[in-house]
Amino acid sequence: MLINLNFVILLISLFLLLSTNYALSDDVIKPEDIIIREGIYYQKFKLKPFTGKAAFFFSNGQPETVNEFQDGYLVSQTFYEESGIKTSFILYSKGKDLLNVADFDKYIKRRYLYYYHENGKLKCRALAWAPNKEYELFESYYFDGNLHITGLVSFTGYGCNPKNAKGFVNYFNHDGSLFIRHTFLNDEIVKYENFIDGKFVEQK
């Protein structure tokens, strides 16, 4: 009896794919399957503190929010758009009972925000260095994905529209060369520097 070799390869590929998907999602559970006892998170009917992920999903099956736990503590949250694009990531201070506090921000260790152009390329991202800090490390990108701006900025809300700045803010051409640097003091520009091909040419 002859067996089509392509058919066998297809069956093996499908088996490996399904096995891999199962392995990747094996530690992802529904949020309602988690309980909290004395500030520690457990999976229902389990005695060991939970390590793994609990996810909320959109109706199309894409993840909406993924909460990650380690040894019974919530350590991070990742948020997505319905299209599957990641919008933000929050890393929490380990050991805090976050479900029983009113102010989540006070336990944020790091916060990453992501915004994207219509073509799917990264538009800007911000990193908050510590809880309740006004200034964040900020990067913005051109529509084609090349770096545009870097600096420490203050956000008034969501989006790629920083309000004030601190220290240096650098502006880059599409080719990656620096063309403007602003130096800020108390949210005021105190020095302008112009560059050509990345080389300093003028100061104001």
Report the distance separating Cα 133 and Cα 141, nearest Å.
23
Mean pLDDT within 42-48? 92
Report the distance separating Cα 135 and Cα 173, nearest Å.
24
Which pLDDT score is estimated for 104?
A: 55
For residue 183, how many C-alpha atoms fall within 13 Å in the half-sphere facing its CB?
7
Q: pLDDT digit string (tens) for 1-11? A: 444 555 444 44
Domain that residue 83 falls in:
5-203
Question: What's the domain count of the chain?
Answer: 1
% of residues, the chain, pLDDT over 90: 26
Q: pLDDT digit string (tens) for 70-108? A: 898 888 888 888 888 888 787 776 655 444 444 555 666
Which pLDDT score is estimated for 2?
A: 46
3-state secondary structure (DSSP) of residue 7 = helix
Which pLDDT score is estimated for 172?
A: 94
Q: pLDDT digit string (tens) for 137-185? A: 889 999 999 999 998 887 655 567 777 788 889 999 999 999 999 998 8
Which pLDDT score is estimated for 178?
A: 93
Which pLDDT score is estimated for 17?
A: 35
Helices (H), 26-72: none
Q: What is the CATH number of the domain that holds 83?
A: 3.90.930
Q: What is the pTM of this model?
A: 0.62
Which pLDDT score is estimated for 103?
A: 55
